Amino acid sequence: MRPGLSHGVNSRVLNSGSGPASSVDFMPFQMLSACQTVCESVIRPHTSWQIRENIVLCPDSTNLCGKTAQTSTLMKDFKKLSLDDTFQFSCHSGILCFNRCCGDLNQFLTPYDILRLKQGLKLSSGEFLKRHTTHHIGPGSGLPIVTLKMQEHENLSCPFVSKTGCTVYQDRPGSCRIYPLARIIQRRKNQHTCEEFHVVIQEAHCLGFEEPKKWTVREWKKSQAVEPYDEMNDLLMEIISLKNRSGRKRLEQQENELFYLACYDLDRYRDLVFEKRLWEAYPIEEKVLKDLEDDDVALMQFGIEWIKGRLFGDIIGI
């Protein structure tokens, strides 16, 4: 969970924070098979290293670049957990370290994180991105990455943390939910299937591990409502995988702008979809077309498919 709040009976009613954090360039702690990944941020400059994302794509162990090798070495220290494996942890508003993990984060936001946050805050995607984020091209992934801005005048605390916990608890990012776990998806080079497992990220400042409560990974993820985040992040991973297959290190500026628009700036993308009648190039049902008008999830799913065709159509035969 993280931060936040707790997992106790009433703790979810309160809000609370996030979880510790992470870092890899794109989504959840990911490393892609072609060593495109991003692991620069795995090591944070002034605290212990942190993983802030909930998906990790591990690199092909036979073909590591220096940076991914560094991450890979770290990953070796983790025990792989299946959904039925257990870990001991609890986070609640009475714990001494409460909110300690909701600051100084290198917090990457996935497209679905942004969708949920802008809806919860009742902001347009453009307004949310302007107020609360910065973006750059991931040095490893070569794709646009969006990062949550910490409050410089408030000891780099998360803009959404309060004394009583997370003020966006119902829509907090996936990495805040799944903490203290990280989800790893490992795809080895030349293999089409992925291995999924989870690891526990145990940080020294987190006292939640001293609490007696035990969870299976499955119970924890269910309690934190992580499933839609996993589903949407998996769609995005298809783009990352295509980019790696393309062998291109960087996209053209216009391609980056289209990716940013369709994945992050959803309300502006909706305008483009209807202004340019983008659906006409894709056979979609009347009902789906109607959904694009007012259903952000449907629009994001359409946008991800559109990006796949627009940027990597030569690979997928469109």
* Residues within the interface to ligand SF4 (CB under 6 A): 2-4, 17-19, 91, 95, 97-102, 105, 158, 160-161, 166, 168, 172-173, 176, 205-208
Nearest approach in angstroms of CB 210 to ligand SF4 is: 9
Hey, CA dihedral for 81, 82, 85, 90, is it positive or negative?
positive
Report the residue closest to ligand SF4, judged by CB: 18
Nearer to ligand SF4 (CB atom), residue 206 or residue 261: 206
Nearer to ligand SF4 (CB atom), residue 17 or residue 303: 17
Query: Taking the CB of residue 274, how many other CB atoms lie within 10 A of it?
Result: 13
Nearer to ligand SF4 (CB atom), residue 17 or residue 138: 17
Tokens of 10: 């009433």
- For residue 178, count CB atoms less than 10 angstroms from its CB and return exposed for 0-12, middle for 13-18, buried for 19 or more: buried
Q: What letters, b where the CB count within 10 A reaches 16 and e where it falls short, cover 247-256?
A: eeeebeeebb
Residue 7: C-alpha distances to residues 2, 104, 174 (Å): 9, 23, 16
Nearest approach in angstroms of CB 215 to ligand SF4 is: 13
Nearer to ligand SF4 (CB atom), residue 148 or residue 258: 148
Nearer to ligand SF4 (CB atom), residue 168 or residue 258: 168
Nearest approach in angstroms of CB 283 to ligand SF4 is: 39
Tokens of 35: 């060593």
Please spell the DSSP secondary structure of 227-277, one letter per residue: HHHHHHHHHHHHHHHHHHHHT-SS--HHHHHHHHHHHT-HHHHHHHHHHTT
Hey, CA dihedral for 170, 240, 106, 150, is it positive or negative?
negative
Residue type for 216, please?
A: T
Beta-strand ranges (E) seen in the chain are 55-58, 86-88, 108-109, 133-137, 144-148, 161-162, 165-166, 181-186, 195-200, 214-216
Nearest approach in angstroms of CB 196 to ligand SF4 is: 23
Nearer to ligand SF4 (CB atom), residue 101 or residue 114: 101
> CB under 8 Å to 11, separation ≥6 — which residues?
4, 5, 91, 92, 93
Query: Taking the CB of residue 318, how many other CB atoms lie within 10 A of it?
Result: 12
Nearer to ligand SF4 (CB atom), residue 149 or residue 222: 149
Nearest approach in angstroms of CB 52 to ligand SF4 is: 9
Nearest approach in angstroms of CB 282 to ligand SF4 is: 34
Nearest approach in angstroms of CB 62 to ligand SF4 is: 36
What letter would DSSP give residue 45? S
Nearest approach in angstroms of CB 171 to ligand SF4 is: 9
